[in-house]
Chain A
Amino acid sequence: MSVETTSLPTQRAALSNSQIAMCFVGAAVVMTLVQYLGGLPEWLHRLPERLVPNFAGWLDAIFSFVKDDLGLLVLTRTLTEGLEWLLDASGNIFFGKRRWPFIGPIPWTAMAAVAAIVGYYLGGWRLAILGGGTMLWTALIGQWEIAMQTMSVLAIAAPLAFVIGLSLGIAAWKYAWVDYAIKPILSVLQTLPFFTYLLPAVIFFKVGPTAGAVATTIYAIPPMILMTTLGLKKVSPEVVEAGQMSGCTKFQMLRHVYLPSARTEILVGVNQVIMLCLAMVVLTAFIGMPGLGAKLLAMMGSFKLGRSFEIGVTIVLLAVMLDRMSKAWVVKQPEHFERGTPFWKRHQMLLLAVVAFVAFTLVSLVVPFFAEVGRGQDFSQGKELDNLIKAFLNIEWVKATTGFLRAFLNVQVLIPFRNFMLSIPTPAFILLIAAFALALAGRKQATYAVIFFSLVALSGWWDRAVITLYSVISAVTLAALIGLPIGIIAARSEKWAGRVLLICDTAQTFPSFVYLIPAIMLFGITDIAVIFSILIFAMVPLTRYTIEGLRTVPPEMTEAADMSGATRMQKLWKVQLPLALPTMAVGFNQAIMFAFFMVIIAAFIGTQDLGQELQRTLAGTDLGKNFVLGICVSLMALTFDLTIMKWAEDKKSALGL
């Protein structure tokens, strides 16, 4: 007996991770086969109902305790009042809400002029045209007021996310314990499905722009924290010493030494904040965010494809404009003038902007069109676009292709694959996931995988979780089959890389709701429509990071390959791809995260997964159940995140990159 117990560990140690992983896979296969033959007891196949702990009930109790007994609701409602005041004021300025300070709305021409001048200041004529053009489009298409409703909330939410993110980022850099405490919370926040934010936001922060602003802020904070910490850690010791030598106080060090040195990273964080805020425009409409998102949902509800498409274009234009401007701001170094340069020369652009603003405001007092594009004066082509989209969907070969895809891909591939995944006994499934984590990353990640997936099994939503996973895996696989070749081909020339990256930006910021409807019209309410809509979203990071990875392969390496007479294919397969693989893995990971995000939204098409249940909880204010489901999604996403990121890191250090 004692011999056995002592010999076991040494034997284990001799086995490599991949061998153990193979054993796990073997065990899983055996268990599945036994299940097929009908020999597996039911309790091993699925966790019996009676063993499922009442997590939802417990969470409900905790929630109502924190909410009412600890007085959290009173606190957040007080905060809400302050926030509401801010939102009212910005609402007045942007779209003329009847609140203090009663000066708005700003005429659209004045805004357009300022946008163009800011664009010119940051990046020359191209950005000037982008800035002014976006505003012009928004006004002429008749969406000015709703776009400004959106902007009035973002104008509060984005700075809020910036300030909170920056402060937390500084705290995490200064104190290790903050860093330790924040990291896991951030990971969970980033993987928690959006529907889980909705209910708490409504209960604690009042339905309306306030809840919308809070949900947006929370969603946009994480990258700001990460980028701030990253930037501060990279500040070179010489700069720090210089600061110390000149006798800076602690605060002066931070204000005049650290923050300016970390400027680039912090501004990248700002860029991320802006992009995430715009990504939330449509989703927050469910909890009272006014503007473009709300209008889009209303248009979709009455089957107006053209109008909803136009709103989508506006959102993309706004996002691209803000993205390019903030990126230009990152690159632009502060200007320095000789001592004695007159004020007007130092602030030429600022003065120009003020003059243009005042001039257009005055003109708009005389010419109403310059203040507001009236009803019936806009150039919206909603009806025509409707017909165009419908005509496209009715073309013979489009119908034939989708018909074939539906008959082949759905019936022959996807549905059998789903049934197969559902037929695997729960323990076998967990073993397979553990084997995956073990083979790619290591024992720590495998342990996490087992714990996380066991929790999912304990939650009692196993079948739905598996269906969620099935959609994610199918979509990411298909996305890789399409997105990777595109990335590889595009990376060959700078010109094409630029074009494809622009398409990626567009696909990422175009509100996913807009293409849910065409997806249904193409594929019906089926798994393909669901997977198609995830696919578009998941392809973006795959393509983007493939291009990024291939472009950053050190030129020495490719030259060496050329000199040794490698063919183009050999160079690609033997040199470029292996070196780009760690970066591509990051893209792969992001694709999975995006897919987990999108699969929940696809509940609007019609699914049988966790997203459908989550959607159902919105009706009945089931906070506990809502949270359990959200955590299930989060745990699955985290398992992949931990494993793949560890793998990419290992590979990177092994390659010496």
Chain B
Amino acid sequence: MKKMTTALTAGVLCLTPVLALAQDSNDPIVIPIHNWSSQIVMSNVVGQILEENGNAVEYVTTDSQAVYESVRLGDVTLELEVWEGAFGASFREALGKGGIVDVGDHNAVTREDWWYPMWTKEACPGLPDWEALNDCAELFATAETGEKGRYLDGPVDWLKHGQERVAALGMDFVVVNAGSAAALWAEIGAAEADQRPIVVFNWTPNFAEAVWPGEFVEFPAWEDGCDTDPAVGPNPDALYDCGNPATGYLKKAAWEGMEEKWPSAYAVLEQVSFTNPQIAEMAKLVDIDEMEPEEAAEAWLEANPDVWQSWVN
């Protein structure tokens, strides 16, 4: 009889984890992959963690803006890098339409602003101060901009307000919009060859930091209301007369049905949180060490078990 009880208990105990797992659907969790390395590796890292958790995972390549519509429809289950600056607008719009939920922030800050590679500083030693930058504006002139310097802004749809800032601070710069991130890299790469001074839009964490060391230009510090109230900031009559917030969020988002369909995976996702150095390291494995993303994810997981193992339990 006692044996029987033990056997039963053992049986129940054995089944418990199975039952707990069985709550999660067997359908694959679809993770979107975009075209920058940290996101690709992070997706693979989280994918492998979820596989460890017993879930089936599939990856799908998508456009980083159009992905929010797919998350809403449930075609894609989650999104690991929602940048405040670049995708905040798309994300908020999708939140408004419904179908997508905010799963919390990473322990990372994102910053997006005017940036220059280190060799620029040799030509314009007063940097990173913005007034010093303005004093050497003619160093940044191109055939098309005449006397004025050229500032290469991100694609228009990133809504970076470079134009407004130049006007508000009375800078001698012409703002040119690049069409894609790749276009920005191409310009920096071309400037690198002859160490030509260049000032472009850039962000962190980003692979570019490892390839081209550089710094952000220090504008008058961001204050709340700088984008809505002209009185805020040095120019009393203009909006956007200060730098971007140096601490933007990096969020995770998920399809609204995820919590119900894969509760355990959703719990893991809530725990997931990477820091700036961790993200930079993931990007480095691919961009500098030339690993394939899956391989980089394996290597990262192996090197940092203490970071992620607690998320699974």
Point out residues on A near B: beta carbons under 8 Å.
198-199, 202-203, 206-209, 285-290, 294, 297-298, 300-303, 375, 382-383, 390, 393-394, 399, 403, 406-407, 410-411, 415, 516-518, 520-522, 524-526, 602-608, 612, 615-616, 618-621
- Contact in complex: A302, B177 (CB < 8 Å): no
- B221 at interface (Cβ–Cβ under 8 A)? no
- Contact in complex: A287, B63 (CB < 8 Å): yes
Shortest 6 CB-CB distances between A and B: which pairs?
A: A619-B65, A520-B186, A606-B179, A294-B61, A301-B35, A303-B185
Contacts of A517 in B (CB 8 A): 182-183, 185-186
The residue of chain A having its C-beta at the shortest distance from the C-beta of B59 within the complex is A290
B126-179 residues with Cβ-Cβ distance < 8 A to A are: 142-144, 152, 155-157, 176-179
B55-89 residues with Cβ-Cβ distance < 8 A to A are: 60-63, 65-70, 73, 75-76, 89
Contacts of B182 in A (CB 8 A): 300-301, 303, 516-517, 604
Q: How far is the CA of A383 from the CA of B211 in the complex (A)?
A: 13
- Contact in complex: B37, A520 (CB < 8 Å): no
Rounded to whole Å, the gap between the CB of A63 and the closest CB of chain B is 13
- B33 at interface (Cβ–Cβ under 8 A)? yes
Rounded to whole Å, the gap between the CB of A372 and the closest CB of chain B is 13
Q: How far is the CA of A202 from the CA of B61 in the complex (A)?
A: 12
- Contact in complex: A525, B40 (CB < 8 Å): no
The residue of chain B having its C-beta at the shortest distance from the C-beta of A383 within the complex is B290
- Contact in complex: B63, A521 (CB < 8 Å): no
- B254 at interface (Cβ–Cβ under 8 A)? no
The residue of chain A having its C-beta at the shortest distance from the C-beta of B293 within the complex is A298
Contacts of B89 in A (CB 8 A): 619-620
Question: Beta-carbon contacts of B21-55 to A below 8 Å, as 1s and 0s?
Answer: 00000000010111111001000000000000000
Q: Which of B9-17, B107-115, B188-196 contacts A (4 or more CB under 8 A)?
A: B188-196
Q: How far is the CA of A411 from the CA of B143 in the complex (A)?
A: 7
- B292 at interface (Cβ–Cβ under 8 A)? yes
22 contacts between A and B (CB under 8 A): A286-B63, A298-B36, A300-B182, A301-B36, A301-B37, A301-B181, A302-B287, A303-B185, A375-B295, A399-B194, A516-B182, A517-B182, A517-B186, A520-B187, A524-B190, A525-B187, A606-B179, A612-B156, A618-B66, A619-B65, A621-B68, A621-B93
The residue of chain B having its C-beta at the shortest distance from the C-beta of A415 within the complex is B144
Known A202-B70, A207-B76, A285-B61; judge A303-B157 contact (CB<8 A).
no
Rounded to whole Å, the gap between the CB of B41 and the closest CB of chain A is 11
Contacts of A520 in B (CB 8 A): 183, 186-187, 190
Q: How far is the CA of A399 from the CA of B143 in the complex (A)?
A: 13
- Contact in complex: A298, B295 (CB < 8 Å): no
With A206-B73, A407-B143 known, 18 other A-B pairs at CB within 8 A are A198-B66, A202-B66, A208-B30, A208-B62, A286-B63, A288-B60, A294-B61, A393-B193, A403-B143, A524-B190, A525-B152, A525-B187, A603-B179, A604-B182, A608-B177, A615-B155, A618-B63, A619-B89
The residue of chain A having its C-beta at the shortest distance from the C-beta of B176 within the complex is A525
Q: How far is the CA of A619 from the CA of B86 in the complex (A)?
A: 10
- Contact in complex: A302, B37 (CB < 8 Å): yes
Contacts of B157 in A (CB 8 A): 615-616, 619
Contacts of B36 in A (CB 8 A): 298, 301-302
Most buried by A among B61, B93, B181: B61
- Contact in complex: A621, B69 (CB < 8 Å): yes
Known A303-B182, A615-B157; judge A524-B187 contact (CB<8 A).
yes
Contacts of B65 in A (CB 8 A): 618-620
Point out residues on B near A: beta carbons under 8 Å.
30, 32-37, 40, 60-63, 65-70, 73, 75-76, 89-90, 93, 142-144, 152, 155-157, 176-183, 185-187, 189-190, 193-194, 207, 211, 286-287, 290, 292, 295
Contacts of B75 in A (CB 8 A): 206-208
Contacts of B60 in A (CB 8 A): 207-209, 288, 290
Of B143, B183, B185, B189, the residue contacting A406 (CB under 8 A) is: B143
Contacts of B61 in A (CB 8 A): 285, 288-290, 294, 297
Of A406, A407, A415, A619, the residue contacting B90 (CB under 8 A) is: A619
Q: How far is the CA of A201 from the CA of B63 in the complex (A)?
A: 13
Known A303-B185, A375-B292, A415-B144; judge A612-B63 contact (CB<8 A).
no
Rounded to whole Å, the gap between the CB of A606 and the closest CB of chain B is 4
Rounded to whole Å, the gap between the CB of A569 and the closest CB of chain B is 39
- Contact in complex: B142, A524 (CB < 8 Å): yes
Rounded to whole Å, the gap between the CB of A381 and the closest CB of chain B is 12
- Contact in complex: B37, A521 (CB < 8 Å): no
Q: How far is the CA of A394 from the CA of B33 in the complex (A)?
A: 34
The residue of chain A having its C-beta at the shortest distance from the C-beta of B69 within the complex is A621
Contacts of B32 in A (CB 8 A): 207
Q: How far is the CA of A612 from the CA of B177 in the complex (A)?
A: 10
- Contact in complex: B33, A294 (CB < 8 Å): yes
Rounded to whole Å, the gap between the CB of B307 and the closest CB of chain A is 24
The residue of chain B having its C-beta at the shortest distance from the C-beta of A622 within the complex is B93
Contacts of B190 in A (CB 8 A): 393, 520-522, 524
Contacts of B66 in A (CB 8 A): 198-199, 202, 207, 286-287, 618-619, 621
- Contact in complex: B287, A521 (CB < 8 Å): no
Contacts of A290 in B (CB 8 A): 60-61
- Contact in complex: B69, A394 (CB < 8 Å): no
Of A206, A406, A522, A606, the residue contacting B177 (CB under 8 A) is: A606
Of A288, A289, A411, A525, the residue contacting B178 (CB under 8 A) is: A525
Contacts of B292 in A (CB 8 A): 375
Q: How far is the CA of A410 from the CA of B145 in the complex (A)?
A: 11
The residue of chain B having its C-beta at the shortest distance from the C-beta of A527 within the complex is B144
Contacts of A287 in B (CB 8 A): 62-63, 66
Q: How far is the CA of A619 from the CA of B94 in the complex (A)?
A: 10
Of B63, B143, B183, B290, the residue contacting A605 (CB under 8 A) is: B183
Of B90, B176, B179, the residue contacting A604 (CB under 8 A) is: B179
Contacts of A608 in B (CB 8 A): 177
Of B63, B90, B183, B286, the residue contacting A525 (CB under 8 A) is: B183
Rounded to whole Å, the gap between the CB of B188 and the closest CB of chain A is 8
Contacts of A209 in B (CB 8 A): 60
Q: How far is the CA of A393 from the CA of B194 in the complex (A)?
A: 10
The residue of chain B having its C-beta at the shortest distance from the C-beta of A391 within the complex is B193
Of B155, B185, B194, B286, the residue contacting A606 (CB under 8 A) is: B155
Rounded to whole Å, the gap between the CB of A532 and the closest CB of chain B is 13
Contacts of B30 in A (CB 8 A): 208
